Structure formats: C-alpha cells, structure tokens
C-alpha cells in the first residue's frame, strides 16, 4: 500500500459498536470501567488488550500511533506531548540495558544538544560528538568509546547535512549500540530510517505531519526490540499526547504527503532563485549537486523530493541586518518553528540554537548571517516575490 493511501486510511474506522465512525473520535475519558472486575484486572495487567487509564492507552492516541507506525514501517509507536519528549523517551529506552554513553552527531537541533548536555550528562551519561557524515570518524569513535547509543538527524539542523543511516546502522549493530534518528525534517515520505536499520525514530508532530501550526506533539516509532521499553516508560513517566492533539494530528496527516510534495517542489524553486541573488552568499539545500553529501542524498532520498528546508547566508550580514531583512517580509511568517503550510523564516542564533554558545555555534558553522526558511505550499512566485522585495 502506498504511503498516500496509508496516510488517509491507517488507524481509522475501528468498530466501537454497530456503527463505524469514518474518522476516529476524540476520547476524552481518563478512566475506563468494565462490568466485571476480572476484565479490568486483566486489562490493567496487560494480559489482554483494552483501555484502563489514559496514561497507559487511549483510543484516539492508539489510532494515531497505528497510523504513524504504518507510515514509518515500525513495530509500534508512542505519541508524546512534544518532539523533545519523544526524543527523550527514545534515548531512555535505548540506554536502558546498554552502556550509558551517547555518540551524537556534531550538528543537531539546539534543544537536543541541551538535552544531552544539561539533562543526560549530569545523570551520568557520557556524551561525545562526531561528524556522522564522515563514516571513518564514526567507526573510530565507536571503537574508542563503545557507546550504547548513536544519535543523529536524517537532515541536520540547520545546515542540512546528511549522514548515511544504513552505514551508521551497520556500525551501531556491530558495536551492540542502538541507532536513534530524529527524522522530523525528512518525514516518512522521504526517508524511513527503520527500513535502513535504525532502532528508534523520533518526530516532532508539530512540524510537517500535523502541518498546520495548531498541534504541539511528538512521536517515537520503535522496532520490536525496544517497543516494550518505550511503552513501559510511557506508563511510568506519562509523557503522553492529549486525545484532542492526537485527533488534530491524524486530521493533518491525511493531507501530509500532498503538502510535502508541494513544499519540496516549492523549495527547489526557491533555493535555485536564492542561489542567483547577488545579496545571498551561500545556499544550503539537498538538491544542490555540489552538496558535500550529494552521494548519500542520491541513495537515501527519492528523486525530486529533497525536503522543504532552505538555509542561506546573506552577504556580510550581522544580527541587525538579519532583523531588518526579516522585518521587511510581508508574506513569509517570522517565527520559531517550521513545517507549517505557510512559509516561515527562523533565525537560528536567536531561536533554534540560542542556548548554544557563540563559539560552539561557530564551530558548527552557524553564523550570524544564516537564516532558515521553511517553504510552504503557497504559490512559489509569491514566496520568491516576498524574498525579492525583502532583500532589496
């Protein structure tokens, strides 16, 4: 079944009674009662399937989890209150019975770096960083550190680097490590890391999957080996998504493949236009034939679908210059997120990587002149027109 069909049908049309709702209802109940205590006992003890308490399971959440599991090709999922909570659960599940050590990509979302350094490391987890686009460096680091987990993003935030998931998964497997991948930028339409050997995949549902800027949520998709650990953590620490947000996410996912295809097409046009503008020093985009990871991108991404994120640097721009440029935007929304139907622009040094020190940002290649454009579904000529008038 094609992913467009799964997005429309998976998870829906369960039969709670004689009639079948065409879309999954919002089940707001926290607690479920049964006529016989024996039934409740067996369900609460997970001897049989059923619902007892919404920290354990909720019918709306279960429908969303079934849908995303189908999209990613996993063994099961957990819908969480945010993308960061999903990533936290994924890392905890992967570290549960392994050496408390994480080998992380040296280019990550700022909040992910904070999670590693300010939450996990003070708890005794050893954290090291490596260039995941340099496979020899990964092999060397794994041999030296013997990490319990390797953490990477399908497409790095914000400079759009791409490591080979299949190759890194092979290295991880050989060392007994779990591979955790944040695949928010790629979505299941472009790349499905579990099919390439990853063990756990995290998404911010807030971004492309829900897609309309009205849901805060995340999801972790698991292979069979780690699924019980993920579900157990859910029952213990309760990072679960609310049923209303689950319903809204399912509603958004029904059109996600259509939206994503349009956004990818628009991004290609926008990136090409930016590359020819005299005020733009450099453009970062996956379709660039000179991209440092072009060979990996060709293997890992479908032809013509390279994501909807475009990063670019303005010539000689400092913070005040970037603020003036962004203030002149009329159509493109100035914000701190991405993946909405509308185009949005983010300033990494102010937003996504604000908590990273200036020296570390410089080492990561994130300069004051860099901005980040999440291309939406609008008419591409209108997006380009807004950029043109703002650039002057």
CA distance 242 to 219: 12
Instruction: Give the H or E element holding residue 127.
Output: strand 126-130
Whether 14 sits among the annotated catalytic residues: the reply is: no
Whether 57 sits among the annotated catalytic residues: the reply is: no
- CB-count burial class (<10 Å; 0-12, 13-18, 19+) for 174: exposed
CA distance 346 to 374: 8
Catalytic residue among 32, 51, 109, 347: 109
Whether 55 sits among the annotated catalytic residues: the reply is: yes
Catalytic residue among 6, 161, 192, 207: 207
Half-sphere exposure in the Cβ direction for 126 (13 Å, CA) = 13
With vertex at residue 11, the alpha carbon angle to CA 10 and CA 14, rounded to the nearest 5 degrees, is 125
Catalytic residue among 12, 39, 42, 55: 55
Catalytic residue among 57, 182, 340, 386: 182
- What's the Cα-to-Cα distance from 360 to each of 107, 120, 156, 225, 322, rounded to whole Å? 10, 19, 16, 36, 20
Half-sphere exposure in the Cβ direction for 104 (13 Å, CA) = 24
Just list the catalytic residues.
Answer: 55, 109, 182, 207
């Amino acid at each position: 079944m094609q992913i467009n069909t799964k997005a429309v049908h998976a998870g829906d049309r369960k039969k709670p009674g004689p009639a079948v709702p065409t879309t999954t209802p919002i089940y707001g109940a926290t607690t479920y009662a049964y006529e016989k205590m024996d039934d409740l006992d067996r369900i609460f003890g997970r001897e049989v399937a059923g619902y007892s308490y919404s920290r354990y399971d909720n019918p709306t959440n279960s429908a969303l989890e079934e849908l995303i599991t189908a999209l990613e090709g996993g063994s099961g999922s957990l819908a969480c209150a945010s993308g960061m909570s999903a990533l936290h659960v994924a890392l905890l599940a992967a570290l549960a019975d392994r050496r408390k050590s994480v080998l992380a990509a040296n280019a990550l979302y700022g909040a992910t770096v904070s999670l590693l350094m300010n939450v996990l490391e003070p708890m005794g987890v050893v954290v090291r960083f490596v260039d995941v686009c340099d496979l020899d460096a990964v092999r060397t680091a794994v041999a030296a550190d013997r990490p319990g987990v390797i953490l990477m993003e399908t497409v790095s935030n914000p400079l759009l680097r791409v490591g080979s998931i299949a190759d890194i998964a092979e290295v991880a497997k050989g060392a007994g490590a779990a591979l955790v991948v944040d695949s928010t930028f790629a979505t299941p339409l472009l790349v499905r890391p579990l099919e390439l050997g990853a063990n756990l995949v995290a998404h911010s549902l807030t971004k492309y999957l829900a897609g309309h800027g009205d849901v805060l949520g995340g999801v972790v998709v698991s292979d069979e080996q780690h699924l019980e650990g993920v579900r157990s953590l859910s029952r213990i620490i309760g990072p679960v998504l609310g049923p209303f947000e689950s319903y809204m996410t399912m509603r958004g996912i029904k059109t996600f493949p259509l939206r994503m295809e349009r956004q990818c097409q628009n991004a290609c046009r926008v990136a090409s236009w930016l590359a020819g503008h005299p005020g733009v020093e450099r453009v970062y985009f996956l379709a660039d034939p000179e991209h440092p990871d072009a060979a990996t991108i060709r293997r890992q991404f479908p032809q013509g679908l390279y994501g909807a994120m475009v990063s670019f640097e303005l010539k000689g721009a400092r913070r005040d210059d970037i603020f003036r440029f962004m203030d002149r935007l009329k159509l493109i929304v100035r914000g701190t997120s991405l993946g909405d139907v509308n185009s949005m622009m983010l300033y990494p040094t102010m937003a996504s990587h604000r908590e990273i020190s200036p020296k570390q940002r410089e080492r990561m290649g994130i300069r004051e002149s860099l901005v980040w454009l999440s291309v939406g579904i609008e008419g591409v000529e209108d997006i380009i027109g807004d950029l043109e008038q703002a650039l002057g």
